[in-house]
Structure 1
Amino acid sequence: MTATVGLTVTHRRYVPYAHAHYGGSLVDGAYTLGLFGDVATEVAIVGDADEGLLAGYSDIRFLAPVQAGDVLEASCEVVAVGRRSRTLRCWADVVARAAPDRGPSAADVLAEPLRVVEATATLVVPLAGTTERE
């Protein structure tokens, strides 16, 4: 089994208030990168029957803030397949956001997702039938 170009996996996650580290309930960028790691792991499992290893990022762009109370949709798509490596296009969108001005538990589903992070990542998997990694 080998991952194919176009394989896409998406996870949704609520961003808890416990992850807010900055004023305005802002969440650090590492939170979203952690989500990309989870999604990349599923890409490896689905595409290569192995958890693989997220080896690194060649590009990361933080486009808008992530806030506590957001619902994030994190996705990775396989855009290139090497012998042991997979190049992934990763992105995260806010699909719902807290609305504290209306009340402590108010929230809205956004009419259009808000793209907050984009990245390019390299995923490494063992050769089929081995446990050896690059």
Structure 2
Amino acid sequence: MSVGLTVTHRRYVPFSHAHYAGNLVDGAYALGLFGDVATEVCIRTDGDEGLFASYSDVQFRAPIRAGDVLEVSATVTRMGTRSRTIDFSCVVVCRGRPTQPAGSAQPTQSESAAEVCDPPIVAVTATGTVVVPATP
């Protein structure tokens, strides 16, 4: 049985994906990453890429910004005959730091400064269902 199987990917968010002020990235970015980890789950459980059928819950909890390093995980919580229920999480594990503190005229670090988020910032969680072909 594959209940409990977890797949994790990490991804740097390039600045070309920022769509909004403050270098914010749209929430659909995380959903696309959930599709990627769900594909690997299906390959590992069934030897097929499968298809995403639905989300039963999506929660946008914190912003995702260009320059973030994301850790996206999928954990199988239920195995049906052809469907699999998966819990997803997208957390920010590293984030770029501003180049100068608010109200200061002098930068305190380089433009490329970044930090590890300790603890990681939970950005998006979801529960979804994937389907795979019937076993011959």
Same fold (TM over 0.5): yes
1:11: which partner in 2? 9
Give the letter aligned to residue 92 of structure 1: C
Give TM-score scaled by structure 1 length.
Answer: 0.92
1:70: which partner in 2? 68
How far, CA to CA, are the matches of 2:110 and 2:26 in structure 1? 24
Q: 1:103 offset after TM fit, Å?
A: 2.6
**Greater shift after overlay, 60-69 or 3-12?**
3-12
How far, CA to CA, are the matches of 2:110 and 2:21 in structure 1? 19
3-state SS of paired residue (1:21): coil
Does 1:128 pair with 2:126? Answer: no
3-state SS of paired residue (2:19): strand
How far, CA to CA, are the matches of 1:57 and 1:104 in structure 2? 38
Instruction: Give 1 or 2: higher strand fraction.
Output: 1
1:1-134 correspondence runs (5 A) = 4-101=2-99, 102-129=109-136
Q: 1:13 offset after TM fit, Å?
A: 0.1
Give the letter aligned to residue 54 of structure 1: F
**Greater shift after overlay, 10-19 or 120-129?**
120-129
Give the letter aligned to residue 108 of structure 1: E
Of the two, which has the highest radius of gyration?
Answer: 2
Give runs of ≥4 in structure 1 deviating > 4 Å.
Answer: none
In structure 1, list runs of 5 or more residues that go unmatched. 130-134
Root-mean-square deviation (CA, aligned residues, Å) is: 0.9
Percent identity of paired positions between Structure 1 and Structure 2: 60
How far, CA to CA, are the matches of 1:103 and 1:23 in structure 2? 21
How far, CA to CA, are the matches of 1:48 and 1:85 in structure 2? 11
Q: 1:4 offset after TM fit, Å?
A: 1.2
Q: How many residues align?
A: 127
In structure 2, list runs of 5 or more residues that go unmatched. 100-108
Q: Deviations over 1:36-74 (max 9, x none)?
A: 000000000011100000111111000000000000000
Q: 1:100 offset after TM fit, Å?
A: 2.9
Q: Deviations over 1:62-94 (max 9, x none)?
A: 000000000000011000011100000001000
Q: 1:104 offset after TM fit, Å?
A: 1.7
